[in-house]
Amino acid sequence: MSRIGKQAIKIPTEVDLEITSDKVVVKGPKGDLNLDLRKEIKVKKEDSQLLIERKENSKLVRSLHGLTRTLIANMIEGVTKGFTKNLELTGVGYRASLEGEDLVLKVGFSHPVRVKPHKGIKFTVAKNKIEVIGIDKQKVGDMAAKIRKIRPPDAYKGKGIRYQGEKVKIKPGKAAKTIGLGGQG
């Protein structure tokens, strides 16, 4: 059995679950999410726990077993607590602001870049920090990755958009390389 798949999921009291043969719907204080199930996976509720079982033992079904359990656990966490991804702007003159629900980035281009949020995603901005908030973990991560892709961190100066706490290895420039050659140039 899958080590992750065989673990039971504890269901908080504020969460409502609707389980059919091909779908799981999770409703909580922050919203509701649903997941389409594969026919090889069976979900059953016992007391205040959710158990995920597989009908076959093939390699594909074994991998889907743990995946399904993790997706449902993330849905339950999302509708109760929610998910956030934090991004930092590093660079002189790099700024972020909100116009309505849209995020407006000034990151060294000749024009400001406008980012529209996906459905269910919200932005907050404080100084040089951007926070992406939502209940769907996949959508939050996807939106944060799209924002980072606008201006990824530069390898020489470190300027750009990065995840909070992300370490960027700075490469030495040309001048630093020639000094090590013993004055030959």
Strand partners, 50: 9, 45
The pLDDT of residue 21: 84
pLDDT, tens only, 7-54: 999 999 999 999 988 999 999 999 999 999 999 999 999 988 999 999
For the chain, where do the domains classified as CATH 3.90.930.12 start and end? 9-80, 83-163
Phi and psi of 48, rounded to 5°? -110, 30
The pLDDT of residue 175: 77
* CATH topology classification for 83-163: Outer Surface Protein A; domain 3 (3.90.930)
Which residue, 36, 37, 41, 42, is CA-closest to 61? 41
Strand partners, 18: 25
The pLDDT of residue 182: 55
- In sequence order, what are the residues at sequence separation of 6 or more whose Cβ sits closer than 8 angstroms to the Cβ of residue 176? none
| pTM of the entire predicted model | 0.86
* CATH topology classification for 9-80: Outer Surface Protein A; domain 3 (3.90.930)
The DSSP secondary structure of 13-65, one letter per residue, reads TT-EEEE-SSEEEEEETTEEEEEEPPTTEEEEEETTEEEEEES--SHHHHHHH
User: Would you say residue 185 has pLDDT above 60?
Assistant: no
- In sequence order, what are the residues at sequence separation of 6 or more whose Cβ sits closer than 8 angstroms to the Cβ of residue 139? 118, 120, 121
The pLDDT of residue 15: 94
Confidence of residue 179 (pLDDT cuts 50, 70, 90): low
